[in-house]
Structure 1
Amino acid sequence: MREYQPRTIQELAACTCDRCQRRLTPDGPGEWQERLSFNHVGGFDSVFGDGNTVSLDLCQHCVREVLGQWLRITPPADTDVFGLWRDRKIDSAWDAPP
């Protein structure tokens, strides 16, 4: 016999870019998957303060404008955008290259 209990969860419904204030939603025009959301808890002797949380949400345009000179952008070589091996039939995980 199974017993269930009610559970309340929160799901991210929108995100606003901290730089340009662009509002991003999951059903928007492709921007949602390209956003950069960052959360970090400062450790001992952090310049942000011990235990403080540092958060940032940027749209893809602001990521490119603000961080572009430091980003390493490498096109996929042996895989397509979904991580599948090109020109090779894979029937199971055992057939994939290591």
Structure 2
Amino acid sequence: MRVHELKSTPVVAQLICDRFAAQARHDEGDGLNNFLQLGFDVGWGSALGDGTRVDIDLCLSCLKETLGPWLRLSTSAWAATPEA
């Protein structure tokens, strides 16, 4: 026997670029595919402050424009053409 319960789960419905304010919704167009959500904790003695949490949402255009020269780009394993 299966007993079902309806539970709500929060989801990210929209992202807004922290640099340029470009917006994307999960249910429109490419959804959130063209955004980077980055979050990490820095350690003690960091230039950003001891024990600081860093979070940023960037559209990929802003990521490329600001960090482009330093990005190491290569083909992802899932996108590589299988060998014949």
State the TM-score, normalizing by the size of structure 2: 0.75
What is the match of residue 63 of structure 1?
Answer: 63
- Does the aligned pair in 1 maintain the 2:13–2:27 contact within 8 Å? no
User: How big is the alpha-carbon RMSD for the aligned residues of Structure 1 and Structure 2?
Assistant: 2.7
Does residue 85 in structure 1 map to residue 68 in structure 2? no
State the Cα distance separating 1:9 from its structure 2 match: 2.6
Give, in whole Å, the separation in 2 of the partners of 1:73 and 1:58.
17
Aligned equivalents of 1:51, 1:6: Cα separation in 2: 38
Amino acid at match of 1:11: V
Residues of 2 paired with 1:53 and 1:80: CA distance? 31
Match of 2:47 in 1: 47
Greater strand fraction, Structure 1 or Structure 2: 2
Q: Deviations over 1:13-46 (max 9, x none)?
A: 1110001101111223326213111111121112
TM-score between both structures, scaled by the size of structure 1: 0.66
Q: Which runs of 5+ in 1 are unaligned?
A: 88-98
Q: Structure 2, unaligned stretches of length 5 or more? A: none
Residue 95 (structure 1) aligns with:
none
After superposition, give the CA deviation of every residue in 1:59-85 in whole Å (9 maximum; x if it has no partner).
011011011010111235xx562x673
User: What count of residue pairs does the alignment treat as equivalent?
Assistant: 84
Misfit runs of 4+, over 4 Å:
1-8
SS in 1 for 2:33: helix
Shift of 1:10: 1.4
Computing the radius of gyration from Cα coordinates, the structure with the larger value is: 1
